[in-house]
Structure 1
Amino acid sequence: MITLTRLNGKQFTLNAIYIEQVEAFPDTTITLTNGKKFVVRESVEDVMSLVETFYRNISVLGLRREAEGSDVERQ
């Protein structure tokens, strides 16, 4: 799960696995696989970074958490 901020300042958590698309219109709009949309304060780059960290934490990117800081060859 990633924590994001709605335009009204309220934070919420979102399961990043269901993110299909992230765009700037100019506000960052996240579209889920079910078509639901969220407009958030975070930039597209910030959302992408949060998603990448989430994927690493659940080992979706093939890099174990304890190996992140080491010189492990990435596959």
Structure 2
Amino acid sequence: MIKLHRLNGTVFYLNPEHIELIEETPNTVVTLTNGHKYVVKESIDEIIELIVEFKGRFLIRRQHGVEEVSD
């Protein structure tokens, strides 16, 4: 899961495997595969970095035989 912030500052966690589209309009809008949309404070570049970090942690844990644990 990746940690994101709504525009009002509320924190929520999102499974990046469900992201279909990210766009800046100028706010960053994350659209999921089920059509739900979230407007977040993070930029596209920040979200991409969070996804890369998430996937890296997942791969390292798989290589070492450790189940994934959320932050």
More helix by proportion, 1 or 2? Answer: 2
Residue 34 of structure 1 aligns with which residue? 34
Q: CA RMSD in A?
A: 1.0
1:58 paired to 2:58? yes
% identical aligned pairs: 46
State the aligned residue count.
61
Moved over 2 A (4+): none
Residue 68 of structure 1 aligns with which residue? none
Output the CA distance in 2 between the equivalents of 1:7 and 1:15: 19
Structure number, greater radius of gyration: 1
**1:9-28 alignment to 2 at 5 Å?**
9-28=9-28
TM-score by length of 2: 0.81
TM-score by length of 1: 0.77
